[in-house]
Structure 1
């Protein structure tokens, strides 16, 4: 079996046509299964060792499960198989990866649990690798909010260039690379922006980056919506599966990117704006109280 065959091989289960079934392909199911097992083992070990913080651990586990399920729905469920033929379903799949699974997984803070699942020598090796100067320099550069926002935006726009988009549909390896870049930059983007201990002062910048992302993704959605002709000829034949013309299929995909996805990015920005205002008010109150006490 060639590398191209390996990435293209999938097994669909379900009643009716293949496009209605579940897609089981090793490049997808193997990482999904391994991630779930590693997290479960590590989380159980942490649960047994920590008498305190169990409520936090449970909340993180629920967030991880929700994020993992969103990944499975996007990559294994009939949405993925239908997305091979229908552009709107393909768009739903991508938004599940970037705007739902990625923030849920980041919010679950799974690194500690997954590290505890590893044998001690391997855990130490990863720790030493993470402290390597080259790794730290690269990570510091790409994990800054501005860099993460740019990388995420570039991934979204570049993969919607018609030539690259259709190449990804026709070649299994490129299709997985497309999904990996959407998920990878999505994880980086949300990790750089979501609040965590010691980063309360960064809420203002995060709000700006989230609003910017909602604007440029909304712009791409609007361009798809108002275009007088389909952008992707490879998707034209499958639109009839939903009783749509190719142009209507593209318009529905643009609407998905514009409205629901914009609401997620915009809603996250509003939530962080509220946290920013609250933390600023608390800081002002503490400063005023300290001044009066002095």
Structure 2
């Protein structure tokens, strides 16, 4: 493990090989301990999906490697980069909590736990990861030659055009809204509960659409001075996610019958569990979008204030000299 933490972060290829070895050994260990795990309460187990753990480890290793190279390259901007590193680590930990902690196993038995898992990914981990600016930092983890090849590849007209399209405020908003509403339709949600592949697709669409949505708010929106669009996106998302949460909370019957048996085994009422899950989406979720919208509005007003006041100050200055 020490070899991985010290040497692998300096070489992306070594990082990938070490990560693969780690996942393989952990998978063997999981098979060895399967008998003991079966005797434990199923909802309290830590889950382990090798490919999920591999992606998490590689992403962290590449970010730390890129951060170290950027820090060694220049002393300017170290405070900003340190804050970005903190945002990445915190967002990364939120993904671990959502995807690999006992919360993941509990989400198979309780709808409310499933909603907490989704909210952790979409309104906590995703904005933190966007604020950490991972794409540029990951790029610096590679040697100069590989870095230039990757940069040249992503600058092709096709990829740049696709990226501009996806980062259009209306497109990012619609993709995120579509993922939320479509996957909470009873047929699709129950299909995700019954199939691990569909469940993976559900989580991937939630996380990727959320990353794109928050990138427009905190990334592209900031650079292109589109704070007005960002505020509109945040407020309207707060409204439609709140509406979905209200529908779940106030529904007279169960939307997802697959939860009846596992929820009852744990001693919870399935309808009350659904209502609690709806409240999780309705109240904490809506509050997160509201806070982000207010922060975006405050940033927008502060950036516009000097430009608004300066024309009024210049005539007074000229009058005093005349």
TM-score by length of 1: 0.91
Q: What is the deviation of 1:121?
A: 3.0
**Does the 8 Å contact 2:176/2:209 carry over to 1?**
yes
> Following TM superposition, by how much is the alpha carbon of 1:243 offset from its aligned partner in structure 2, in angstroms?
3.4
More divergent stretch after superposition (94-103 vs 170-179):
170-179
In structure 2, what is the equivalent of residue 147 of structure 1? 171
Contact 2:167 2:220 in 1 (8 A): no
Q: 1:255 to 1:68 in 2, by over 3 A?
A: same
Q: Is the 8 A contact 1:66 1:101 kept in 2?
A: yes
Determine whether 1:110 maps to 2:131: no
Using the alignment, how far apart are the partners of 1:31 and 1:93 within structure 2? 18
TM-score, with normalisation over the residues of structure 2? Answer: 0.84
Cα drift, residue 293 of structure 1 = 4.6
Q: How far off is 1:168 after superposition? A: 1.0
Q: Of residues 228, 251, 274 in structure 2, which corresponds to 1:227? A: 251
Alpha-carbon distance, 1:287 to partner: 2.9
| Structure 2 partner of 1:275 | 299
State whether structure 2 residue 232 is matched by structure 1 residue 201.
no
Change (3 A) 1:164 1:37: same
1:33 maps to which of 50, 57, 62? 57
8 Å contact from structure 1 (residues 200, 276) kept in 2? no
Looking at structure 1, the residues matched to 146 and 136 of structure 2 have their Cα atoms a distance apart, in angstroms, of 14
Q: Report how many residues are paired.
A: 286
Task: Tell whether the 8 Å contact from 1:14 to 1:21 is kept in structure 2 after alignment.
Answer: no
Determine helix, strand or coil for the equivalent of 1:22. Answer: coil
- Distance (whole Å) between structure 2 residues aligned to residue 45 and residue 71 of structure 1: 25
CA apart distance, 1:198: 6.0
| Larger of the two Rg values belongs to structure | 2
Distance across 1 between alignment mates of 2:224 and 2:162 = 24
Gaps of 5+ in 1: 1-8
Answer with 114-123 or 176-185: which moved more: 114-123
Counterpart CA distance in 1 for 2:316 and 2:220 is 30
Instruction: Give the match for residue 235 of structure 2.
Output: 211
* 3-state SS in 2 of match to 1:51: coil
User: Do 2:221 and 2:227's aligned partners in 1 also have CA atoms closer than 8 Å?
Assistant: no
1:50 match: 74
Whether the aligned pair in 1 keeps the contact of 2:90 and 2:128 (CA below 8 Å) is yes
Which of 269, 278, 287 aligns to 1:245? It is: 269
- Cα separation, 1, equivalents of 2:223 and 2:85: 22
CA distance in 1, matches of 2:311, 2:39: 65
Contact preservation (8 Å) 1:14, 1:20: no
- Whole-Å separation in 2 of the counterparts to 1:43 and 1:179: 28
Structure 1 equivalent of residue 8 of structure 2: none
Q: Which residue of 2 aligns with 1:261?
A: 285
2:102 is matched with 78
Tell me the CA shift for residue 123 of structure 1: 1.6
Distance across 1 between alignment mates of 2:312 and 2:38: 65
Please report the RMSD computed on the Cα atoms of aligned residues, expressed in angstroms. Answer: 2.1
Partner residue, 1:168: 192
Partner SS for 2:47: strand
Q: Give me the whole-angstrom Cα distance separating, in 2, the residues matched to 1:216 and 1:227.
A: 16
Name 2:22's counterpart in structure 1: none
1:50 positional shift? 1.5
Partner Cα distance (2:146, 2:302) in 1: 42
Asked whether the equivalents of residues 46 and 102 of structure 2 are also in contact (C-alpha less than 8 Å), the reply is: yes
1:81-96 matches, cutoff 5 A: 81-96=105-120
Structure 2 contact 130–219 (Cα < 8 Å) conserved: no
